[in-house]
A and B are shown apart, each in its own frame.
Chain A
Amino acid sequence: MIEYKRIEKSPVELTKQDFVSDQMVKWCPGCGAHAILAAVGNVFPKIGYRKENFAMVSGIGCSSRFPYYVDTFGFHGIHGRASAIASGLKVANPGLSVWVATGDGDSMAIGGNHFIHVLRRNIDINILLFNNQIYGLTKGQFSPTTPMGTVTKTSPHGTIEHPFTVSGLVLGAQGTFFARVPDNNIKLMTEVLYEAAKHDGTSVVEILQNCIIFADKVHEHITNREMREERQLFLKHGEPMIFGKNRDKGIMLMNNGLRVVEIGKNGVNENDLLVHDQYATDPSIHRMLGRMKAPDFPVAVGVIRSAPADTYDDLIELQIENAKKTSKIQCVNDLLRSGDTWEI
């Protein structure tokens, strides 16, 4: 890894209040986006950079109003292009902590190309992907993550499209960081966002966000507070994968696949369970964890993958520094006079 981080720290300790902008928050009451804003408010002071060194970039959609509500530099772009705008911003000034707020439509439909390529390049930006499985701002059309068969305004007979899983797309595009959190767990979200900020490279945090108007309760079977111990697997690096209200179930790797097992039954004990390694460079287990879904599996939440890899922004800095040291061309006058020239 290349040590190149030079984002300036704040000389004074900042609080959540320092990041509240003067703009009125206009999301629907009860929208999951409010929780994301709260978690970002928690984590920015914790990260400790100067306020001026944060930049929020967004595309179009409910998610993309986010920059207006955070008192940093903000850029509200056009539909699908937030990752591309953020790429230019970060490459032009690596001294910024760049955050993208985007949705399932913005990043995986119209912006799908930019999304996979920012991951492939591993540019050090943080992407908050609000996955509510619907187009909210345009009032309820199906998105690339809407489950097959769902009736929406543009699928009155049910969708006939196979949905993307966010983790599948991120890991397929060689993403180095992927985490998933439900919108009703601000504590976990804050922890995960901190991890995302720490990661060198593109971080994608999928937030299972509830759209109270057009896709209410689509994540309810996972996020329901009563059931969440049973239906979510809280991943922690270095710890065995245990879940359940009584912490009596776990995940084992058997016959090249994951299996849910009951601890203490059929001779299974804690030592047989899979231990989470978020830093593994091989993504095979991370892919399997990302794919787990109800009813056969709990849904994995927390940091699924955080693998080290060179970042584009570091490498371009290095190339520029090396070129400046070694090239004969140090200014444009040198360039104009290089090669074949003659005096008349």
Chain B
Amino acid sequence: MVKIHDVRELEDVVVKFVGDSGDGMQLVGTLFSDAAAISGNDLATFPDFPAEIRAPHNTIAGVSGFQVHMGKRKIYTSGDMCDVLVAMNPASLKSNLKWAKKGATIIVDSSAFDEKAIEKAGYTTNPIEDGSLGTFQIIPAPIAQLTHESLAVLGVDKRVAERTKNMFVLGMVFYLFGREIEKPLAFIKTKFKEKPKVAEANQAALKAGYNFAETTEAIKMTYKVGPATLPKGLYRNIVGNIATAWGLLAAAERSGRPLFLGSYPITPATEILMELSKHKSLGARVFQAEDEIAGICSAIGASFAGSMAVTTTSGPGLSLKSEAMGLAVITELPLVIVNVQRAGPSTGMPTKSEQSDLMQALFGRNGESPLMVMAASSAANCFYYAYMASKFSMEHMTPVILLTDGYLGFGSELFRIPDVNDLPSITPPMADPNDKNFKPYRRDEKTLVRKWAVPGVEGLRHRIGGLEKTNIDGNVSTDPLNHQLMVNIREEKVNRIADFIPLQEVNGESEGDLLVVGWGGTEGALLSTVKQMQEAGHNVSHAQFNYIKPLPKNTREILAGFKKIVVCELNSGQFVNYLRMLYPEFQYEQYNKVQGLPFHVQELTETFTKLLEEV
């Protein structure tokens, strides 16, 4: 039977898979996005899962989701509202319907909409039948039931059949987007190579779903998203936390300094620790410490030993590391501190993203304790900024805090794979053996950087520590003028890194009505909005900061070019107040959101439009 239906061709499309925690939505989302990537789409993804591993069955608290934004054009975010929503139970439909665009296609597993589940989700009547979804293209399919039926001939038990229903729905979505199913079929074979029976069941479910979609009358329209025009190169899909881990490994290799990670598991940063643990063949020494403090202190010990030392954490862990960060500042040892920010204060919302640790990163230590602060701004550029954080840390003998966030850490996008040998070189200032002039705090005149003198190397015996030391000689000192000198030097040393970082770029004209300023993980949403508004003829530009302390040298010049400046952040205004402190001559507007959610293009467009009207 051949069906005739509409094919809607789109520039970009957002698909969201939602279901109960155990429904396998993360896997389905990943397989779907891999297929999109291989078909040449640009894309970004974001998982949305509860902190609980298995919250009670069929409740709103237990809903787990995965969103894919793919396109023929450049994709900057994982998308605001979805074109296609796949909901595996009433709770996931209830909690995600607000993210469905008008007229979106909604696939629901109608066999999961029994009375009990409907009630648990907080519905009084069955939403599929009561007409409340009238404006959507609803595709109700008894997915669980059909999966069981299609697997009956294989003789698999009920439990296995229940767990393959995600493959059935994946088959349906593949049909909906005209994708070939060869790739996931092969993936299933590899994944379950130890369990051929399970592999067979999953493959059968995938095919059954595809065939069902092909024949069902409910699908009146399918989608087509053509390939994007991306620069030539070798690509892969990468999650931000993995990109961070790989950037660190690349920096260790290029610097010739072995990687040491001292870390303690914490959401949403744990994945970096897990990833680096895998790479002993690259010489990565990973120390899962007894707590956050031991994580950073072991890293400081390793840095003293001459390793490229790293500690990874999220907000609460950064608080615990504060004292030890000061130790790294005063001993002037390299150390990369990765903070994958999450919603705070305290435990806050561990799986939700926020940018609220900026002030803590800049100032959250006792004493005058300056260090370099940087921020990655996309899942893929976590690789580059982790690399650069390591480079500046070693070359300038300073701790560096690299801020990412849960949104970048968990999200994925396409990554054009570089050749490690093409990355900027890293030359740590190692002290030479038996250097007659060696003193612990003797400095390079231009950069104020001291030498890295490593235990085991002849003629470099010295003692450093948390007590204030004399400049050059490094002896313990409480001399008032020496302390003033050392305080000034430590600040100036970090500020002089500005001579080595790239100038700030502006997307759009360097002068105009409105400059949209952001930092870190909000780049995708801000850039998408500004581009759309530019295309609509507005005089608006965008600057996304990756280097925060020190700021790029042309920051003042950029700010001076606009009638209005709006600083947008997922906090109550931390970067804007930092700018007010450093550049008080400008008037700043601010747009802030602290809901554990990313910016949406729509809210930004409304805000900027209003600001432009007032110009």
Q: Are B234 and A76 in contact (CB under 8 A)?
A: no
Choose one: A76, A95, A330, A335; the contact of B246 (CB below 8 Å): A335
Q: Are A114 and B290 in contact (CB under 8 A)?
A: yes
Q: Are A323 and B299 in contact (CB under 8 A)?
A: no
Q: Are B305 and A96 in contact (CB under 8 A)?
A: yes
Q: Are B455 and A53 in contact (CB under 8 A)?
A: yes
A:1-55 near B, CB below 8 Å: 21, 23, 50-53, 55
Q: Are B289 and A84 in contact (CB under 8 A)?
A: yes
Residues from chain B with a CB closer than 8 A to the CB of A114 are 290, 293-294, 297
Stretch at the interface among B67-75, B401-409, B412-420, B501-509: B412-420
Q: Are B465 and A88 in contact (CB under 8 A)?
A: no
Chain B binding surface SS class = mixed
- Decide yes or no whether A92 CB sits under 8 A from chain B: yes
Cα A96 to Cα B290 in complex, Å, equals: 23
Residues from chain A with a CB closer than 8 A to the CB of B250 are 332
* Contact flag A81-B465 (CB < 8 Å), given A92-B260, A336-B246, A342-B234: no
B:301-336 near A, CB below 8 Å: 301-307, 309, 323-324, 327, 331
How far is the CB of A172 from the nearest CB of chain B, in Å? 15
Q: Are A77 and B281 in contact (CB under 8 A)?
A: no
- Decide yes or no whether B258 CB sits under 8 A from chain A: yes
Q: Are A67 and B301 in contact (CB under 8 A)?
A: no
- Decide yes or no whether A275 CB sits under 8 A from chain B: no
Q: Are A77 and B466 in contact (CB under 8 A)?
A: yes
B:228-287 near A, CB below 8 Å: 230-237, 246, 249-250, 253, 258, 260, 262, 279-283, 285, 287
Cα A341 to Cα B253 in complex, Å, equals: 22
Q: Are B297 and A344 in contact (CB under 8 A)?
A: no
Q: Are A74 and B465 in contact (CB under 8 A)?
A: yes
Q: Are B281 and A67 in contact (CB under 8 A)?
A: no
Choose one: A77, A96, A331; the contact of B253 (CB below 8 Å): A331
Residues from chain B with a CB closer than 8 A to the CB of A269 are none
Number of interface residues of A (CB under 8 A): 59
CB nearest neighbor in A for B307: A92
Choose one: B37, B235, B297; the contact of A81 (CB below 8 Å): B297
How far is the CB of A52 from the nearest CB of chain B, in Å? 5
How far is the CB of A328 from the nearest CB of chain B, in Å? 8
* Contact flag A95-B456 (CB < 8 Å), given A320-B280, A324-B283: yes
- Decide yes or no whether B291 CB sits under 8 A from chain A: yes
Q: Are B456 and A53 in contact (CB under 8 A)?
A: yes
* Contact flag A52-B285 (CB < 8 Å), given A88-B262, A92-B302: no
A:292-344 near B, CB below 8 Å: 316, 319-320, 322-324, 326-327, 329-333, 335-337, 339-344
Residues from chain A with a CB closer than 8 A to the CB of B280 are 319-320, 322-324, 327
Offer 26 A-B interface pairs, CB within 8 angstroms, sorted by A: A52-B459, A53-B456, A55-B304, A56-B463, A73-B461, A75-B463, A75-B465, A78-B297, A78-B324, A85-B300, A85-B301, A91-B302, A92-B260, A92-B285, A92-B305, A113-B290, A117-B290, A323-B281, A329-B282, A330-B281, A330-B282, A332-B253, A333-B419, A335-B249, A335-B279, A343-B234
Q: Which residues of B contact A (CB under 8 A)?
A: 34, 37-38, 40, 230-237, 246, 249-250, 253, 258, 260, 262, 279-283, 285, 287, 289-291, 293-294, 297-307, 309, 323-324, 327, 331, 417-421, 454-467, 475-476
Known: A331-B253, A335-B282, A344-B230. 20 other contacts (CB 8 A): A50-B458, A52-B458, A55-B455, A71-B461, A73-B461, A73-B463, A74-B464, A75-B301, A77-B300, A84-B294, A88-B297, A88-B304, A91-B260, A92-B306, A93-B307, A319-B280, A320-B280, A329-B282, A330-B281, A340-B236
Q: Which residues of A contact B (CB under 8 A)?
A: 21, 23, 50-53, 55-58, 60, 67-68, 71-78, 81, 84-93, 95-96, 113-114, 117, 316, 319-320, 322-324, 326-327, 329-333, 335-337, 339-344
